[in-house]
């Protein structure tokens, strides 16, 4: 826990004692992924060809949003649905979501248990704000997306659990249990950003039973432990992988689970900005109040369009079939390429893709030297070497809260051109060959 807080402060880009700025602004770290992309764009502007597999987004030329959704958005603008939306989200959208989630995941929520926002980020922020007070313990695993920054926002106590490749970087009940005392929020994500891995049924059941036991142990007037369950990638599973959620596995957790979901990833609609939370009416109501001051509402035309699109079952199924096949083809091809390099003796590896748009890859080159004698002394040197020599841009797990020495990376396939994968591996192999 101390490691995360010290890292947050020591890497702050602004002097902590600056009297003009708040302590929060002076100690908040900017996005490492955004920083990396700025560097990558500069290289590309200068004419370098970079295989930019960093950002969790989609190239619309490869993965466009569903045409039916696009047409509904255009129609909504032409009908001049350009006013403020309802603070909790349009009733017709919440109704569509309720029906969609019941039919596809067996989750039953009323309209007053659903909140709409402009994607998952403001929802996650309002969950943190609605539940955690200053100094209260928040449990999250690393690597994971942005939990360290959200804990910093609410001035909570970091309880960051470093996970391992042996468990596909998913936290286990055994790892969580010693830290339950006093915790108010357990942040979980499956499929997980950045790893593309998921909870097995048994793994999640064990965590659910542990949370139930912990809440039963606490006095009636004590604050309970809530689960933030980010499942925004849940429809993007591959092969035999099956998605599970706490409420379906243990219905009694419905009073203590807040979901984060939306269309951003499942329909390549990151810029459309329609996300939703489902949870206990009391929590959703408080989140709505916080959101009303932020104004991070989903645009009205996009809400109108999404409400109609989600009810087009045939169109949704057909889109997901083609979309998932394209993602899986890229994930499998790159996974196979890394396994081939590993077989040839290079210090790389990859975890079998399960879900989402990410592949977890390992590039373990610390201690190697280039042919001109340059030592790759730390993982940051490896990241820079792979970018400069192989022209491959991927995100180190350090950007997701993991230790700086971790040799694991997130590789995102939303912008990957199939025909360029072989070229990417050729350049990567050439870069690996230069090391001794």
Q: What pLDDT does 297 receive?
A: 97
User: What tokens appear for 242 in the block?
Assistant: 């099956």
Q: Are 284 and 115 in contact (CB under 8 A)?
A: yes
Residue 16 has pLDDT above 70, yes or no: no
Identify the CA nearest to 94 among candidates 269, 244, 288, 229.
288
Letter string b/e over residues 368-381, b meaning 16 or more CB atoms within 10 A of that residue's CB: beeeeeeebeebeb
Q: 360 Cβ partners below 8 Å, 6+ apart?
A: 165, 168, 169, 194, 195, 196, 197, 350, 351, 408, 409, 410, 411
| Per-residue pLDDT reduced to its tens digit, 290-326 | 999 999 999 999 999 999 999 999 999 999 999 999 9
Structural domain range at position 272: 67-311
Count of domains for the chain: 2
pTM (2 d.p.): 0.93
CATH number at residue 344: 3.90.1150.10
311, 334, 361 - which closes a domain = 311
Residue 34 has pLDDT above 80, yes or no: no
DSSP classification of residue 237: B
* Residue 294 falls in which region: left (phi positive, over 0), alpha (psi -120 to 50) or beta: alpha
363/256 same-domain check = no
280, 311, 342 - which closes a domain = 311
19 C-beta neighbours (distance < 10 Å), count: 6
188/49 same-domain check = no
Whether the link from the prior residue into 143 is cis, omega within 30° of 0, is: yes
Within 108-168, residue ranges assigned H as helices are 120-131, 147-153
Three-class SS state of 267: coil
Q: What pLDDT does 26 receive?
A: 85
- What's the CA gap between 117 and 85, in Å, rounded? 10
303 C-beta neighbours (distance < 10 Å), count: 26
Residue 20, domain member (yes or no): no
41/146 same-domain check = no
| Per-residue pLDDT reduced to its tens digit, 194-241 | 999 999 999 999 999 999 999 999 999 999 999 999 999 999 999 999
Residue 23, domain member (yes or no): no
Query: How would residue 417 be classed by pLDDT, with cut points 50, 70 and 90?
Result: very high
Q: What pLDDT does 35 receive?
A: 78
262, 284, 311 - which closes a domain = 311
Query: 């209260």: which residue's tokens?
Result: 136
- What's the CA gap between 128 and 401, in Å, rounded? 18
SS percent in the chain: helix, strand, coil, step 5? 45, 15, 40
- What's the CA gap between 121 and 167, in Å, rounded? 27
| Per-residue pLDDT reduced to its tens digit, 156-195 | 999 999 999 999 999 999 999 999 999 999 999 999 999 9
Q: Are 305 and 116 in contact (CB under 8 A)?
A: no
Residue 16, domain member (yes or no): no
Residue 13, domain member (yes or no): no
52/181 same-domain check = no
Residue 27 has pLDDT above 50, yes or no: yes
Residue 17 has pLDDT above 90, yes or no: no
Query: How would residue 8 be classed by pLDDT, with cut points 50, 70 and 90?
Result: very low
Q: Are 258 and 94 in contact (CB under 8 A)?
A: no
| Per-residue pLDDT reduced to its tens digit, 38-55 | 888 888 888 889 999 998
123/106 same-domain check = yes
181/223 same-domain check = yes
How do 348-350 and 275-278 pair as beta strands?
A: unpaired
Residue 22, domain member (yes or no): no
240/130 same-domain check = yes
Give residue 200's Cα distance to chain centre: 18
Q: What pLDDT does 2 receive?
A: 37
118/250 same-domain check = yes
Query: How would residue 19 be classed by pLDDT, with cut points 50, 70 and 90?
Result: low
| Per-residue pLDDT reduced to its tens digit, 246-274 | 999 999 999 999 999 999 999 999 999 99
- What's the CA gap between 52 and 416, in Å, rounded? 8
Query: How would residue 18 be classed by pLDDT, with cut points 50, 70 and 90?
Result: low
Residue 134 has pLDDT above 50, yes or no: yes
CATH number at residue 299: 3.40.640.10
338/360 same-domain check = yes
50/87 same-domain check = no
Q: 242 Cβ partners below 8 Å, 6+ apart?
A: 201
Query: 């429809």: which residue's tokens?
Result: 235
57/73 same-domain check = no
Residue 24 has pLDDT above 80, yes or no: yes
298/276 same-domain check = yes
Share of the chain above pLDDT 90, in %: 87
Residue 149, domain member (yes or no): yes
Q: Are 45 and 269 in contact (CB under 8 A)?
A: no
Residue 203, domain member (yes or no): yes
Q: Are 186 and 199 in contact (CB under 8 A)?
A: no
Residue 7, domain member (yes or no): no
| Per-residue pLDDT reduced to its tens digit, 69-109 | 999 999 999 999 999 999 999 999 999 999 999 999 999 99
């Amino acid at each position: 826990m101390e490691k995360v807080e010290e890292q947050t402060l020591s890497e702050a880009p602004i002097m902590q004692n600056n009297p003009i700025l708040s302590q929060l602004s002076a100690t908040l770290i900017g996005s490492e992924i955004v920083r990396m992309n700025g560097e990558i764009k500069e290289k590309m502007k200068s004419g370098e060809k970079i295989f930019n597999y960093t950002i969790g987004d989609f190239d619309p030329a490869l993965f466009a949003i569903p045409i039916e959704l696009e047409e509904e958005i255009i129609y909504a603008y032409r009908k001049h649905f350009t006013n403020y939306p309802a603070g909790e989200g349009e009733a017709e959208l919440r109704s569509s979501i309720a029906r969609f989630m019941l039919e596809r995941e067996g989750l039953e929520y009323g309209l007053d248990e659903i909140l709409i926002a402009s994607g998952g980020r403001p929802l996650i922020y309002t969950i943190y704000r609605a539940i955690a007070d200053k100094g209260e313990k928040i449990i999250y695993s690393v690597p994971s997306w942005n939990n360290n920054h959200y804990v910093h926002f609410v001035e909570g106590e970091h309880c960051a659990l470093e996970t391992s490749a042996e468990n596909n970087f998913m936290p286990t009940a055994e790892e969580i249990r010693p830290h339950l005392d006093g915790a108010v929020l357990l942040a979980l994500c499956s499929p997980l950003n950045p790893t593309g891995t998921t909870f097995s049924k048994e793994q999640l059941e064990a965590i659910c039973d542990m949370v139930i036991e912990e809440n039963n142990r606490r006095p009636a007037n004590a604050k309970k432990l809530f689960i933030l369950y980010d499942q925004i990638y849940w429809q993007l599973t591959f092969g035999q992988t099956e998605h599970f959620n706490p409420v379906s596995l243990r219905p009694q957790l419905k009073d203590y689970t807040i979901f984060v979901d939306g269309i951003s990833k499942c329909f390549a609609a990151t810029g459309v900005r329609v996300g939703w939370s489902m949870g206990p009416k009391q929590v959703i109501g408080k989140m709505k109040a916080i959101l009303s001051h932020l104004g991070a509402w989903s645009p009205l035309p996009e809400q109108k369009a999404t409400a109609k699109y989600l009810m087009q079952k045939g169109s949704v199924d057909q889109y997901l079939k083609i979309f998932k096949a394209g993602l899986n083809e890229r994930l499998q091809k790159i996974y196979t390429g890394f396994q081939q390099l590993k077989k040839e003796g290079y210090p790389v590896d990859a975890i079998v893709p399960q879900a989402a748009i990410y592949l977890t890859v390992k590039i373990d080159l610390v201690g190697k030297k280039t042919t001109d004698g340059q030592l790759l002394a730390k993982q940051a040197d490896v990241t820079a070497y792979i970018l400069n020599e192989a022209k491959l841009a991927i995100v180190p797990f350090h950007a997701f809260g993991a230790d700086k020495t971790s040799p694991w990376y997130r590789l995102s396939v939303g912008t990957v051109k199939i025909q360029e994968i072989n070229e990417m591996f050729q350049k990567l192999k050439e870069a690996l060959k230069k090391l001794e």
